[in-house]
Chains A and B, each alone.
Chain A
Amino acid sequence: MALFTMSKSPDLGSKLISLVVQQVRFRNRPNLKNPLPMHYNRKRLFAVCEPVPPPNKPVCDAMLKPSDQNSVSIVDENPYALFLAGKLRRDFTKHPMIAIFHIDSFTGREFDRIRLMLHDNNFPMEIQQRVNRQVTAAAFKGTKWAPIIPLCESKTAFGFCSTTDVSMLMKMLKKMPAFILIGLIYENRLLHRDDVDNLVKLSNNIVNLHSQLSTTLNLPIMNLTQNLMIGQVTLTNSLSSYTKSQESSSSSSDSDSDSSSDSDSDTESKKKI
């Protein structure tokens, strides 16, 4: 196919008609398996005509709606959810210390290591991963534990501890980076994270104070008993020494009369031996 073009040459100062022959852009018989690459004009046209989606088209409607509208009420549909809510309430009354964690992502292997670590350190903590938000709301709505419900919005876990050793809990938590403490229920009191740190310091001091108090209380009693013992011993010693002295004086008066008979009896006993 030939194409005629008009060009203006600045040197000659006149229009020139130049004959530009272009190659055929398409062949009669295309290779359907391996088509030829597009020539420049065609490629340019395809690039210009690429479809452009509208800018305000929502990608995902679910993200725009509030989460409550999206979710189905599991508690209303499934009676098993009510059973789990009751179990959660019982667990809260059974254990003296309950830790509330926000959990980051972790693998199953990491969790196995955590459980082994707890077992090796003899720390009795049951971890309930990924607490269901609706089940928690059904369990604690209208009760004294209602403030816990907002804590279970995101990924939350409960750690049910049979002991009240907070310092040990903090030690264990240092080796559990995926578990972030956001609250603690200590002896039926909900504590903030800062309150937990104060409690740890207090618990360390309390034991020392207890021991000091007990020693100071015991001190006068100990002194008294000691003095009594000393007095008793001295009295008994003096009494015994007095009785011995008395005995010795009485025995010395009788000893002269009995001395000869005693000596004969001694020599006979020696001969026999």
Chain B
Amino acid sequence: MLICRAAPLGGMCTRFVGCATQVPSCGLKNYVLPPSYEGVEFPDRNKLKFMDKVPTYPAGLRPPKMMKNLIFMRGPEPVHHSLIHQQYGIVALGPGRLRSGHFEMMRMTIGRRLDTSRMFAIWRVDPPWQPVTRKGQGKRMGGGKGAIDHYVTPVKHGRIIVELGGNCEFKEAFPILREVAEKLPFKAKPVSHQMLQEMRQKESNSEKYNINPYTLEYIIRNNLGKSHHWISPYDRKWFGKHI
């Protein structure tokens, strides 16, 4: 049974073969118009730029060592938690540190799969700046702080790592971003602007329409169940949402 698909009416004409024929099903087809990409601003360079492994210091300045400062990773991201171009990106769902190897991986993977004629990608994190020291293998304790081994970028929960945009749909950007997100050292997820808004809305709705009178915030603020004996100082700030 042959149906002529080249017809202008989208398959209305039929060819009779033998005694049985097929009339096109589903009386009407609703063809979705392609999306318009008005207002998409392309940056100067479409591909991700190279991120230095080591930050540059003024001449004569010894690279300073730093404390571990896990606070840079703890808690929610207060500033860089939304997409600038309102298209697609990777959002961190947990705390972590990005090293130069991760930056290279992201840059090469995205650069390889990007169609530079109509897509672009930008960094939303700083290059590695926090020094991480390490003592030599087998060295005994003492003798001062170890030497700087490498530099990292701390990332908090909700931080946007990379943004991808241009004249493309999420269906096209998703596999590129997923390939990168799965290799990051923390939980991450490719999202679109709409998805991000829906996630935030869902979180706020679950709080707004919650009929449970007991919330962590209420219990911790009022020291119910002697919770102050065992909660951490960060529970007083974030009420159990973040470690």
Contacts of B142 in A (CB 8 A): none
Given that A45-B219, A49-B212 are contacting pairs, would A128 and B23 also be in contact in the complex, using a CB cutoff of 8 Å? yes
Contact B210 A51, beta carbon cutoff 8 Å = yes
Given that A46-B240, A49-B216, A81-B27 are contacting pairs, would A127 and B210 also be in contact in the complex, using a CB cutoff of 8 Å? no
Q: Which residues of A (1-51) have their CB < 8 Å from a CB of B?
A: 1, 3, 25-26, 29-30, 32-33, 35, 39, 41-42, 45-46, 48-51
Contact A53 B19, beta carbon cutoff 8 Å = no
Contacts of B212 in A (CB 8 A): 49-52
Interface centre among A51, A78, A126 (most CB of B within 10 A): A51
Q: Distance in Å from the Cβ of B184 to the closest Cβ of chain A? A: 12
What 0/1 readout, one digit per residue, does chain B (16-32) give for beta carbons within 8 Å of chain A? 01111111011110000
A101–B240 Cα distance when bound, in Å, is 59
Contact B186 A128, beta carbon cutoff 8 Å = no
B89 interface residue per 8 A CB criterion: no
Interface centre among A32, A123, A160 (most CB of B within 10 A): A32
A122 interface residue per 8 A CB criterion: yes
Between-chain CB contacts (< 8 Å), 27 pairs:
A25-B230, A26-B230, A26-B232, A32-B70, A32-B74, A32-B95, A33-B94, A39-B230, A41-B230, A45-B219, A45-B227, A45-B240, A46-B240, A49-B212, A51-B207, A52-B211, A54-B209, A54-B211, A80-B9, A116-B20, A119-B19, A119-B20, A124-B20, A125-B20, A126-B21, A130-B27, A131-B27
**Given A54-B209, A127-B23, 14 new contacts (CB under 8 A):** A1-B230, A25-B231, A32-B95, A33-B185, A41-B227, A48-B214, A51-B206, A51-B212, A52-B211, A80-B28, A115-B22, A119-B19, A131-B27, A132-B28
Q: Spell out B's residues near A (CB within 8 Å).
A: 1, 9, 17-23, 25-28, 68, 70, 73-74, 94-96, 185-186, 206-207, 209-212, 214-216, 219, 225, 227, 229-232, 240, 243
